[in-house]
A and B are shown apart, each in its own frame.
Chain A
């Protein structure tokens, strides 16, 4: 029994702090509220906004992560890489309200007034940029970790066969990074789905326009429509579960290949 002491201490804490809140939420589901939420057009708008913006943010994150991967492979001793590496960690440590405010000041009406009365702020582009800001580090870290696992000598041989660093990266490194890119995309997508603070600061919370699922839940709580907030939250949980399963399958495939 002593052999499993840590597991015995861990299990109740896991149940209390992770499983119990989820169960508490799901047990508050009301059938009437489910119906009411599912016919609310703003709910579906927020679902579409969330998924499309998260997809765009994750795709942008992977594109930049591919660029970071190049620096990780060939420019590791340069100032550019050190700066890029440092900036990868910054969004993780930064309060996301601060990230949202920074984006607002950078891309709002003062700097980007020429694209519209509010600049890029309070548009779907702002939602995508806010999601990207907080999710990109996950994609970059996953790509870097994938590169660390590959056989560096294949790159060295490709260079002696006439490849420039760019060609070697595109022809040799990227094709074997498929799983890492997929995992990076999924992680960035999952992080984007759950983002609230940066999105609401920079993208706003306009129903039918820039409202996402997280801000829909917040609005319903503020309006006193708790049962509708619970329904939307349950939908979020379902979406997250689907993603977690996809990530697990992705990791399993990565391990077996």
Chain B
């Protein structure tokens, strides 16, 4: 289980994360929010890329707050894939083996599951956006993380490609039986992927019942802000 307790992050005098607390079971938890609401910052803090000002991050009772990213065993899929352009698809996926993580059998399984068998020798930049997303997911899952963080991994794709990819992504994530945080502002992605949901607004996280509730909350906030601006 992933447990976040009273996380506070300040950047340039601004509070980016304000007392964020959350528990995520080995399921897919979707965080929905507008751009600049603090969703990506939350993932970077959990991954150890940014340092917290206060609060604790624990995985299965192990406090990882003070650890560098390489010691956290956190899988992170960023928004724009961030594939290693100077390596082949296969080298990207097997990258974790250099750090004695993952194993060959598991990686072969992931390659089959995500339909990447015929693309292993290609450079990632020659692939379509959809396949780049698959490679990015495979590369992260290969390292056997204890939790997964995905930051709008499908945001650059057309709706039709997304519709085809979401079941593949969901199957791959569920097969790991680990807590997953999936950040998006796409209603379809949220409702098709999520088991539980929360809304992020100006650094404050609130748990909601469904994806629909999340988007209703966001709509209300936008409406209220616009009304206040007019007055």
The answer to whether A and B come from one shared complex is yes
A residues 210-225 in Cβ contact with B at 8 Å: none
Stretch of B68-76, B180-188, B223-231 that contacts chain A:
B68-76
Does A157 interact with chain B (Cβ within 8 Å)?
yes
Q: How far is the CB of A34 from chain B (nearest CB, A)?
A: 48
Q: How far is the CB of B85 from chain A (nearest CB, A)?
A: 7
Q: How far is the CB of B173 from chain A (nearest CB, A)?
A: 16
Q: Which residue of A lies closest to B77 (CB)?
A: A157
Q: How far is the CB of B84 from chain A (nearest CB, A)?
A: 6
User: B70 contacts A162, CB within 8 Å?
Assistant: yes
Q: How far is the CB of A139 from chain B (nearest CB, A)?
A: 21
Q: Which of B74, B84, B145 has the most CB of A within 10 A?
A: B84
A-B contact count (CB 8 A): 66
User: B99 contacts A154, CB within 8 Å?
Assistant: no
Number of interface residues of A (CB under 8 A): 17
Chain A residues within 8 Å of B139, by CB: 157, 161
User: A176 contacts B72, CB within 8 Å?
Assistant: no
Does A158 interact with chain B (Cβ within 8 Å)?
yes
Residue in A153, A156, A164, A176 whose beta carbon sits within 8 Å of that of B85 in the complex:
A176
Q: How far is the CB of A82 from chain B (nearest CB, A)?
A: 18
User: B70 contacts A156, CB within 8 Å?
Assistant: no
Interface SS majority for chain A: helix
Question: Lowest 5 CB-CB distances: which A-B pairs, in order?
Answer: A162-B99, A153-B82, A159-B69, A160-B76, A153-B78
Q: How far is the CB of B148 from chain A (nearest CB, A)?
A: 10
Known: A159-B48, A160-B49; 6 extra A-B contacts, CB below 8 A, are A151-B82, A154-B82, A157-B78, A160-B48, A161-B70, A176-B85
User: A163 contacts B70, CB within 8 Å?
Assistant: yes
Interface residue range, chain B = 20 to 34
Query: Residues on A close to B: CB < 8 A?
Result: 151, 153-154, 156-164, 167, 171-172, 175-176
Chain A residues within 8 Å of B98, by CB: 162, 167, 171
Residue in A159, A164, A167, A172 whose beta carbon sits within 8 Å of that of B84 in the complex:
A172
Q: How far is the CB of B186 from chain A (nearest CB, A)?
A: 20
Known: A161-B143, A162-B96, A163-B99. A156 touches B69 (CB 8 A): yes
User: B70 contacts A159, CB within 8 Å?
Assistant: yes
Known: A161-B96, A162-B96, A171-B98. A156 touches B47 (CB 8 A): yes
User: A151 contacts B80, CB within 8 Å?
Assistant: yes
Does B122 interact with chain A (Cβ within 8 Å)?
no
Q: How far is the CB of B64 from chain A (nearest CB, A)?
A: 12
User: B82 contacts A164, CB within 8 Å?
Assistant: no
User: A157 contacts B96, CB within 8 Å?
Assistant: no
